[in-house]
Amino acid sequence: MPPVTLLIIGAGQRGQCYADYARLHPDQARVVGVAEPRDAYRARLAQAHRVPQESVAADWRDLLRPGLADAVIIATPDALHTEPAIAFAGLGYDILLEKPMARTARECEQIVQAVRASGVIFAVAHVLRYGSYTQRLKALVMSGLIGEIVSVQHLEPVGFGHQAHSFVRGNWRNETESTFMLLAKSCHDIDWLRYIVGRRCVQVSSFGSLMHFRKEKKPPEAGAALRCLDCAFEPRCAYSARHIYFSLMVDRIIGPIVLDVLTPDHTSAGLLKALADGPYGRCVYECDNDVVDHQVVNLLYDNGATASFTMTAFTEWGIDRQTRVFGTLGEVRGDGRTITHYDFLTLKEQVIEVPPVTREMLVHSDSDYLLMQRFVDAVATRDQSKVLSGPDETLETHLTVFAAEEARRERRVVDVRVA
């Protein structure tokens, strides 16, 4: 079977990550086109995959022609998903679309309508569904080990540095430019809860706000400045750009991936220039951010089961999501690496190890790798069932997210509209 051919629309962090699957498995997938408006990022991905120059473009519309590839990976900014998704679906391209699908419920519905009309293979990058940890946890609860699921507690510990990087200084800081926090960051988690519980959510309530990253929270000490490199208070600030990008990131496994958002030049001189001139060097109390830094969501499923979800910026950076699933016969606790089962009858606790991750693609543990493995296989075999996050259930969970944000803003319980 020849390798599946791919167009990469958006050569940033996510596009590069998914394209790497073709580098790891050239017998299964091959990148044959790339569209990216930034010269350095476009050239780097094109060179890494030896993309012919006639299939390298600044604008995705220049690649919008039939038969150029089997499938397209759309990893553009959130606000720029809808138009290319509908356009490529219309030409019969199979699609992997980065989450969230789109910024409004209506646009999400339009994408799904286009996909259904064309009959293409379609996946949304809800990568958390695909990881070894999730698959092990899902198999355990489906086996009846803890009886019927009654309730779930789920925590997304965003991390103080990640919040400052992505949601205060970065691309997802401002709702007008991107979207609200629950959709941008935590649609992963609302979708993941749906997958684990296995039932449709029917009602939601939610609370949350932007408490800390506000101008009035800026330290009052003399010498506090608009940019970290100019700030006398900076050595004492946990959110200092110098602290985050030099002290925290450079030595971390995720460091190069995150630093790449600032600049393709990862030298000290390149990073200092990015912090001096670019948005990532701004004081976190002087940015144009307006997304929440903490939020809770309560969910009621159609069989009476419930879940509570907490997203907070104010945690250690780099720790995994933490979950407790409460059933009628026992409970399981998970932290992304191990699962602990407690049995009500035997009163015994068992630690269930999840196989260690050995894949090279480690942005979301092994989830990115396994998503790409399934998507490429689905395209090759024309089997939509190999995708765990297809159009129907993905639209359902997006509508749950929109309902939760409506509940937060209006301070009321909201019914989730049926997809």
User: What pLDDT is recorded for position 252?
Assistant: 59
Considering only residues 224 and 365, tell me which one the structure prediction assigns the higher pLDDT.
224
* Nearest residue to 76 (alpha-carbon basis) of 87, 53, 60: 60
User: What pLDDT is recorded for position 108?
Assistant: 98
Q: Which two tokens stand for residue 392?
A: 């129907």
**Strand order across the beta sheet in which 122-124 lies:** 56-57, 29-35, 4-9, 71-74, 94-97, 122-124
What span, in angstroms and rounded, lies between the C-alpha atoms of 104 and 178?
A: 11
> Of the ranges 44-58, 173-187, 353-367, 392-406, which one carries the lowest mean pLDDT score?
353-367
The answer to whether residues 166 and 258 touch, using CB atoms and an 8 Å cutoff, is no
What span, in angstroms and rounded, lies between the C-alpha atoms of 212 and 249?
A: 22
Mean pLDDT, rounded, for 297-305: 98
Mean pLDDT of the chain: 94
Task: Please name the CATH architecture into which domain 4-120 falls.
Answer: 3-Layer(aba) Sandwich (3.40)
The answer to whether residues 100 and 78 touch, using CB atoms and an 8 Å cutoff, is yes
The answer to whether residues 166 and 410 touch, using CB atoms and an 8 Å cutoff, is no
The answer to whether residues 101 and 79 touch, using CB atoms and an 8 Å cutoff, is no
CB atoms within 10 A of CB 393: 18
Three-state secondary structure readout of 26-83: CCCEEEEEEECCCHHHHHHHHHHCCCCHHHEECCHHHHCCCCCCCEEEECCCHHHCHH
- Which residues, in sequence order, are bridge partners of residue 97? 74, 124
pLDDT in tens, 77-133: 999 999 999 999 999 999 999 999 999 999 999 999 999 999 999 999 999 999 999
User: Hey, which CATH number is domain 129-213+289-359+391-415, 3.30.360.10, 3.40.50.2000, 3.30.43.10, 3.40.50.800?
Assistant: 3.30.360.10
The amino acid at 107:
E
pLDDT in tens, 272-289: 999 999 999 999 999 999
Which residues have C-beta within 8 Å of that of residue 409, sequence separation ≥ 6? none
**In the chain, domain spans:** 4-120, 129-213+289-359+391-415, 219-281
pLDDT in tens, 219-243: 988 788 999 999 999 999 999 999 9
* Nearest residue to 196 (alpha-carbon basis) of 96, 321, 82, 325: 325
Of all residues in the chain, the percent with pLDDT exceeding 90 is 86
With cut-offs at 50, 70 and 90, classify the pLDDT of residue 150. very high
How many angstroms from the chain centroid is the CA of residue 197? Answer: 20
Examine the pLDDT at 253 and tell me if it is beyond 50. Answer: no
Region for 259 from its dihedrals, namely left if φ exceeds 0, alpha if ψ lies in -120 to 50, beta otherwise: alpha
**Which CA distances in Å does 183 have to 18, 59, 82, 173?**
21, 26, 15, 12
The answer to whether residues 226 and 234 touch, using CB atoms and an 8 Å cutoff, is no
Of all residues in the chain, the percent with pLDDT exceeding 70 is 96
Examine the pLDDT at 293 and tell me if it is beyond 90. Answer: yes
